[in-house]
Chains A and B, each alone.
Chain A
Amino acid sequence: MKHFLAAALTAAALAISAPAFAQTPPNVLVVGQIAEPKSLDPHAVTAVNDFRILVNLYDGLTRYRDGTLEPEPSLAESWEVSDDGTVYTFSLRQDVTFHDGTPFNAEAVKFNFDRMLDEDHPYHDTGPFPLAFYFSAVDEVTVIDEFTVEFRLGEPYAPFLSNLAYPTGLIVSPAAVMEHGADFGRNPSGTGAYSFVEWEPNTQVTIQRNADWWDGAPDLEGIVYRPITDANTRIAEMLSGGIDVMVEVPPDSLAQFRDGGDFNVYEQAGPHVWFLILNMKEGPFAEKAVRQAANYAIDKTAIVENILQGTAEVAAGPTPPAFAWAYNEELEPYPHDPDRARELLEEAGYDGETVTFYVTEGGSGMLDPVAMGTAIQADLEAVGMDVEIETYEWNTFLGRVNPGLEGKADMAEMAWMTNDPDTLPFLALRTAAWPEEGGFNSGYYSNPEVDDLLEQARRATNQDERAELYKQMQQIVQEDAPWVFVANWKQNAVTTAAVENFKLQPSFFLMLQDVAKPQ
């Protein structure tokens, strides 16, 4: 039997593998993705996994300048903003055609935003459009002439240009939407550097070079995105030559790729914050001193170095350093100081009440939530806080946390990835963003000063002025400690040595327009 099995194995191996195991062909990049995309309609999706494909298929009116989170012209060649900051007039590129052959023009731009924002639009039911609120400030889109389009906002909204660069703002072909309706997400057509070829469910999404791309045809002939949900399998594919690029490498395996000479490892800090929402409405965290104590008690350096193995950095405040222009450099993270934490708890008269802590099993941007949750529990218990963990699967978790923690928990894990320094604080730290108002301020933080700063920053048309306001906001929020600020994630990717000009972006998007793979 033993001989038989061995013989059968060898025979089968020789018979079937006669042509040596093929590497991926030159000029075609195979990317190992973490999941099957939900849809290739940029207005219908929320996951970075899908964005990694979309940003290569579509262009927006603006895009992030290489290596930054600052918007620069893309499909819009230039724009003018009215003095009061409510009217944006864009001059569009005139030489652009959608992949389906229809022309890109002001009408197309209007169609895109009306589809998302106007419930009476004939194609509004091709949604849902979960991130349409990125453009909720837009009152009206008007076609001025064929290549000029005007956006009228209800109130000044400084993040507007940056939101246009986000996948929710990417421009799709109206003709393709009309033709495919709700199936547009499977038959995408944009103006990007690559055009859609094929989507074989659970196997691959293939896109090819758009020789007519207005910004110069890319080097690669095509890109194949393969969904490989199991991280171990993804690593095996990378090692066995089945893929050229893999993203979200587990910390444990990063060292292995670093040591082998056949691979390049890339890391890039991004606009990500991993934090604990503290319930300020009731329970011990209603006291500022107790919230600060939690910030002192938790050893973030240990979490970042031991659990996340250097794939993240300690967070100092609510704004990630990736927003370089708006980040307050003077902010120092709360140091790990258990004695100070005990002092503060005593000052606050904390009576040893048990704290309920919501932990999720996984989820977008959550890194290693169970291990991190356990470490946090241990740190808090070390200063005398009794912590009880309740673990939930991600969707359930969101369903419990987003409507607010009142009556349920004192503390919850959370992570956000955003594209503008406004987004997170505006949606999760303002008084007007309490859950019952439709926001994500699940811990009920309220500080009129912060509210005011955020409102002003939104209206400011001058970036330096905005930056100043955000820096003040960070100072106050860090002092108030409505959250425990834990970590800023560094995204990573591994490529084979053959891949050239590969770069990660602070936006977390995978821009592959300039990548080459000559052999």
Chain B
Amino acid sequence: MIAYIAKRLLAAIPVLFGLTIIVFAIMALIPGDPAQAILGNFATPENVEKLNRDLGLDKPLVQQYFIWLGNLFQGDLGRSYMQNRPVLDIVLERFNATLILAGTALVLCSVLGLIAGVISAVRQYGWADKAITFIVLIGISIPSFWLGLLLILVFAVNLRWFPASGMYSIFGGGDLPDLLHHLFLPALTLAVVATGVIARLTRTAMLEVLRQDFIRTARAKGLSERTVIYKHAFKAALVTVIPVIGIQAGFVLGGAVYIETVFQWPGIGSMLVTAISTRDLLLVQGGVLVVAAAYVLFNLAADVVQTILDPRLR
């Protein structure tokens, strides 16, 4: 198992580098440069040129890339042009917030999705199944930024149950209940689409398993329906569902970009939006690298869990 994980991790390295090349190229292709963004409206072409030189941006792109790569190996992701702080500090600080949000959303969508899927499959074509299918369809179709605004309007502005934005109260607070209070609406918004996907998939997987011989055998043995469904069928269906949850983890991470902006969550998504619009090249690089690495790790974790659950894959 350890060898398997090591092999997968090694395989991820070229993927990550390929990614940095693509990001570097994209940032170079889109017009507008960091110096212009730093200097603002009053930037004369002369000053822009000078600052680009000071920042080392006048060098050929390939050279810039290798300088960046060399520093990366020394654990140095450079300094953000706009914030004038080490990229690594900013990225780690922000990534932490994103992990809290995306992690909560992932747990939420896994639990809700699995429960809904199982109920749906067990009560196939019953009213519960129909209701769940209906809700799931809406959940999958709603644009999440819109849902986020709607939730803010209802639960923050009108009912005042939850804060409209931010991660902690600015006065007092700062503890776990405060964090959960701020976390609830964005995590829910972020979880909705993935919940739908997982629910649909669990339903299909469960239905398939329920038709198989070993379930008939289990029932014939006189096991209670509860044991049949949760001990036998659910465990078997999980093997199909787990990798999907791994993929959803990636989507949740991606979705965090919108949701963080809507809820002003101080995560890596909202950081990237700002960094891209201000052409903060090194910050974009660092941010994308960390997100991609996390994506790879999520997939790896899903594979590992699947291998543990399904001995045939070993």
A328 to B74, CA, bound (A): 62
Within 8 A of A (CB), among B46-94: 46-48, 51, 54, 82-85, 90, 93-94
A88 to B155, CA, bound (A): 59
A22 pairs with B84, CB closer than 8 A: no
Task: Classify chain B: how many residues form its interface, as a range.
Answer: 35 or more
Give the chain A neighbours of B43 by CB distance below 8 A: 130, 398, 402
A128 pairs with B271, CB closer than 8 A: no
User: Scoring B residues 167 to 201 as 1 if CB is less than 8 Å from chain A, else 0, what string do you get?
Assistant: 11111100001001100100000000000000000
B157 pairs with A403, CB closer than 8 A: no
A6 to B14, CA, bound (A): 46
Number of A positions contacting B (CB below 8 A): 66
User: Scoring A residues 1 to 22 as 1 if CB is less than 8 Å from chain B, else 0, what string do you get?
Assistant: 1101100000011001100111
A58 to B103, CA, bound (A): 42
A395 pairs with B116, CB closer than 8 A: no
Tell me whether A392 and B119 are in contact in the complex, defined as CB-CB below 8 angstroms, given that A46-B39, A233-B262 are known contacts: no
- Closest Cβ–Cβ distance, residue A248 to chain B (whole Å): 16
Give the chain A neighbours of B112 by CB distance below 8 A: 5
Residue of B nearest to A35 (CB): B274
A128 pairs with B51, CB closer than 8 A: yes
A16 to B183, CA, bound (A): 10
Partner of B135, one of A2, A185, A202, A242: A2
The dominant DSSP class at the B interface is helix
- Closest Cβ–Cβ distance, residue A258 to chain B (whole Å): 17
A395 pairs with B157, CB closer than 8 A: no
- Does any Cβ of A come within 8 Å of B20's Cβ? no
Give the chain A neighbours of B84 by CB distance below 8 A: 39, 182-183, 185-186
Give the chain B neighbours of A130 by CB distance below 8 A: 38-40, 42-43, 47
B279 pairs with A1, CB closer than 8 A: no
Give the chain A neighbours of B32 by CB distance below 8 A: 392-399
Residue of A nearest to B273 (CB): A229
User: Scoring A residues 415 to 444 as 1 if CB is less than 8 Å from chain B, else 0, what string do you get?
Assistant: 010000000000100000001001110000
Within 8 A of A (CB), among B217-272: 261-264, 266, 270-271
Residue of B nearest to A404 (CB): B45
A35 to B115, CA, bound (A): 41
A427 to B42, CA, bound (A): 9
B36 pairs with A399, CB closer than 8 A: yes
- Closest Cβ–Cβ distance, residue B160 to chain A (whole Å): 5
- Closest Cβ–Cβ distance, residue B234 to chain A (whole Å): 17
Please name the 5 residue pairs, one residue from A and one from B, whose CB atoms are nearest each other, closest first: A396-B32, A395-B32, A46-B40, A202-B266, A236-B164
| Cross-chain pairs A/B with CB under 8 angstroms, 17 sampled | A5-B135, A12-B184, A16-B180, A21-B160, A22-B169, A130-B43, A186-B84, A226-B166, A229-B264, A232-B149, A233-B164, A236-B152, A236-B157, A240-B163, A395-B279, A397-B32, A438-B45
